[in-house]
Chain A
Amino acid sequence: MNNTNVIQAEGLTKMFGDFTAVNAITFEVKKGEIFGFLGANGAGKTTAIKMLIGISNPTSGQAHVAGFDVSTQAEDIKKNIGYMSQKFALYDDLTVKENITFFGGIYGLTKIKIKEKTKELIEDLGLEEVANQLVGSLPLGWKQKISFSVALLHEPKIVFLDEPTGGVDPITRRQFWEMIYRASHQGTTIFVTTHYMDEAEYCDRVSIMVNGKIEALDTPKELKKQFQVDSMNDVFLKLARG
């Protein structure tokens, strides 16, 4: 991790009519940081993320993501971010290789680059045996690992992960976090949203949104100390329940 800010938000605000969904949030995320973005249902997380990835215009305030302005350079942002969620990951009816080719194409990689990346990814994850099998036939844990690697295909500066390890068995889950640590070590910024506070424990720093505002932002260790509790779950409950 170094001191370059990959995300910088200042007074970022979104209103829908009279309703303030995101209320002047200010924060920054550093290069290579694993940043947890938490909040209860309806706290404003999704709206905030939509602004950060350039698909929703802020009502006021500003944000830079990967060096680009979210209001005026949205297309550049989209090229520099990766996204992975439980709900949408890979196409079950395509093989592992076909999925890689497809997503490589979507991100505008050249054929040579796709070939190179395919080889690298398959070797890295030890998928030689199943490279030509339909993704739908693979265990969930494998799919998750492949889909994380696919989100990194175009070497984005930031990857957004939505509940990346929910429902995955504990051992695969650890392997997945090891992949995240590796990506972070190599300089990719990881932006995690989750409802599961044990996932929050893995982040370098964590922010918690309540009613559109960031009410807490620090390392899990400091937050636990500050709220005098043993777990991020208890930090969250104290904040969200008031």
Chain B
Amino acid sequence: MGISVSNISKSYKDLKALQNISFEVKPNELFGLIGPDGAGKTTLFRILTTLLIANEGEATVAGLDVLKDFKEIRKYVGYMPGRFSLYQDLTVEENLNFFATIFGTSIEENYELIKDIYVQIEPFKDRRAGKLSGGMKQKLALSCALIHKPKVLFLDEPTTGVDPVSRKEFWEMLKRLQQKGITILVSTPYMDEAALCDRIALIQDGEILQIDTPENIVKQYPKTIYDVSANNMYQLINSLKAYQHKHSVYPFGEFVHYTDTRSDFNPKELKTYLEAQNLSNISIERTQATIEDSFMELAK
């Protein structure tokens, strides 16, 4: 009851939104599609939820073909689009009732599945959806996407614009849904969320850069990364970029992530160079690669 995507391409006029995309999501997997805005994530979601037809390639969802079986698929998938798409003028409860009725079920029948999520917004069940906060809208949208007990759940950037507390709660909810046997495909531009998925595909400009578990992707990073810091960030970046042996120089919060072209790199040498550039309080320490480092190395 997973997802299978094989050689899918989609263009809008001259723009190649998806280029020959293939991957498999195993039954009951929590699979992340990680990439920036414009990578093609939403196009892929729309193809898999039968709302858009690909130019080339094939895909199945829960064993059903997205073209031939489009009507059937819609019974088995839940879709939470990136843009809030519920009825703003209906109340929380009316929205949920509406979606339950459309799918020929009732809130009571499937309450068990949404209970965890819905109890948090139930106190506001008479409030119009348009008047909810971002975090509450997200919970209502998820409840509506789940009310017909889908086998496969599609979540397009569910955490965009949501604060860290609501984000954390949201990912905890996803884990619980997974435990109930639902297959989940979730997209996000936020690389730190990648670690919360079983497997991920890194996607940019309509192409998949790599597919693996987050741990393996980070493990395969080819270089040793150093956290470099000094008294002046702007001058530090410029100096590192001008260093003849640099492989990559990327600001990373309070540090700069530096990699060297040489295999016998000696940090002391770099320190001497930076001191000669009038930098002080220099610190150079080995650090672990993150998904973002891997993404940048692959996209280079």
Q: Which residue numbers of A lie inside 8 Å of B, CB to CB?
A: 39-42, 139-141, 166-172, 174, 177-178, 181-182, 184-185, 195-198, 201-202, 219-221, 232-233, 236-237, 240-241
Contacts and interface: CB of A to CB of B under 8 A. Distances in A.
Contact of B299 (A40, A171, A195): A171
Contacts of A174: 250-251, 296
A21 B139 CA distance: 25
Given A41-B134, A42-B133, A201-B253, 8 more contacts: A140-B38, A167-B160, A168-B36, A168-B189, A181-B251, A185-B232, A195-B164, A202-B254
Given A185-B234, A220-B254, A170 B164 contact: no
Nearest to B38: A140
Interface of B: 35-39, 133-135, 160-168, 189-192, 204, 232-235, 237, 250-254, 292, 295-296, 299-300
A170 B37 contact: no
A31 B235 CA distance: 18
Contact of B295 (A41, A170, A181): A170
B149 to A, nearest CB: 30
A172 B168 CA distance: 26
Contact of A177 (B36, B37, B166, B251): B251
A41 to B, nearest CB: 5
Contact of B253 (A166, A184, A202, A240): A202
Given A139-B38, A167-B36, A170-B299, A240 B233 contact: no
A221 B283 CA distance: 14
A75 to B, nearest CB: 31
14 contacts: A40-B163, A40-B166, A41-B135, A140-B36, A168-B189, A170-B299, A174-B250, A178-B251, A185-B232, A185-B235, A195-B163, A219-B254, A220-B253, A241-B165
B56 to A, nearest CB: 24
Nearest to B190: A196
A216 to B, nearest CB: 14
B254 A221 contact: yes
A172 B299 CA distance: 11
B226 to A, nearest CB: 16
With most chain A CB atoms within 10 A of its CB, the pick from B166, B189, B192 is B189
A198 B253 contact: yes
Contact residues of B: prevailing secondary structure = mixed
Contact of A182 (B37, B133, B135, B234): B234
Given A181-B234, A184-B234, A41 B296 contact: no
A170 B162 contact: no
Nearest to B249: A174
Given A41-B135, A185-B232, A220-B253, A166 B295 contact: no
B36 A240 contact: no
B160 A170 contact: no
A196 B191 CA distance: 11
Contacts of A42: 133
A93 B196 CA distance: 39
A240 B167 CA distance: 13
Contacts of A141: 36
B251 A202 contact: yes
Nearest to A196: B190
A41 B163 contact: yes
A88 B24 CA distance: 37
Given A41-B134, A174-B250, A174-B251, A166 B189 contact: yes
A41 B135 CA distance: 8
Contacts of B168: 237
A197 B164 contact: yes
A236 B165 CA distance: 8
Nearest to A181: B234
A171 B134 CA distance: 28
Contacts of A240: 163-165
Contact of A167 (B135, B163, B189): B189
A233 B192 contact: yes
Nearest to A233: B164
A170 B295 CA distance: 8
B163 A201 contact: no
A180 B295 CA distance: 22
B37 A41 contact: no
Nearest to A241: B165
Contacts of B189: 166-168
Given A41-B166, A181-B251, A195-B162, A168 B234 contact: no
